[in-house]
Amino acid sequence: MEIYYNIIIIYLIFIFFILFFLSYFLFTFWTSKVIVNHTLEFLFFLFPIFLLSLFLLFSIKALYIREKLFGEIYSFKLTGNQWYWSIELKDKIINSYILDFNINYNLRNIDTSNHIFIPVNVPSLIMVSSQDVIHSVGFPDGGVKVDAIPGRLNTLEIFRYNSGILNGYCTELCGPLHAYIPFQIEFIN
């Protein structure tokens, strides 16, 4: 992380020098002699290319670092259907439906028939897809959202430090029962 701060300082110094030279050349009377300087034009051509290559190098490195998950990974596949979620674990497939309002339960339009239990302090990888139409898995409490598109497999990484229930919803307008396909992940110690 220290290298990124150093790069920002170098960029600020560069901007300062550019502004200094621009103001110097604008307010002096011998600018006509400097404007035709081919060496200076060549350097002003090469330096932005050098900066863009640095941007490219560090952004690609940051992109690949972001994709790595370290340690033990808990993963499952979440498939959107009209109008419920299918959860594919290693050995079984379970469906998560919204609970009927006639049954006594805690949370109206949020409580589901099946939860996923994930241990705390373990990186979790959720693979998201759809069976029929475009859905979108959104966890407002966790601040994450990913689209579930038929024929495409998207991934979502979750790492939780404390126990509790994370309520998820379909945030894509996928049909008349769009508001009634919640999903719950329970984090346990």
Which domains does the chain show, CATH number per domain? Answer: 2-66 (no CATH), 74-188 (2.60.40.420)
Alpha carbon 12 to its chain's center? 28
The pLDDT of residue 128 is 92
Joined together, the tokens standing for residue 15 give 């901007």
Whether 12 has a pLDDT exceeding 70, the answer reads yes
Reported as a pLDDT band with limits 50, 70 and 90, residue 107 is low
| Location of structure tokens 């979790």 | 124
Whether 28 has a pLDDT exceeding 70, the answer reads no
The pLDDT of residue 98 is 80
Q: 144 near 160, Cβ under 8 Å?
A: no
Q: How far apart are CA 171 and CA 139, in angstroms?
A: 9
Q: pLDDT for 61-105, tens place per residue? A: 777 766 665 666 788 899 988 888 899 988 889 888 887 766 666
Q: For residue 83, is the peptide bond before it cis, meaning its omega torsion is within 30 degrees of 0?
A: yes
> What is each CA distance from 181 to 82, 87, 105, 126, 163, in whole angstroms?
8, 13, 16, 17, 23
| Location of structure tokens 């859905």 | 135
| Location of structure tokens 């379970």 | 94
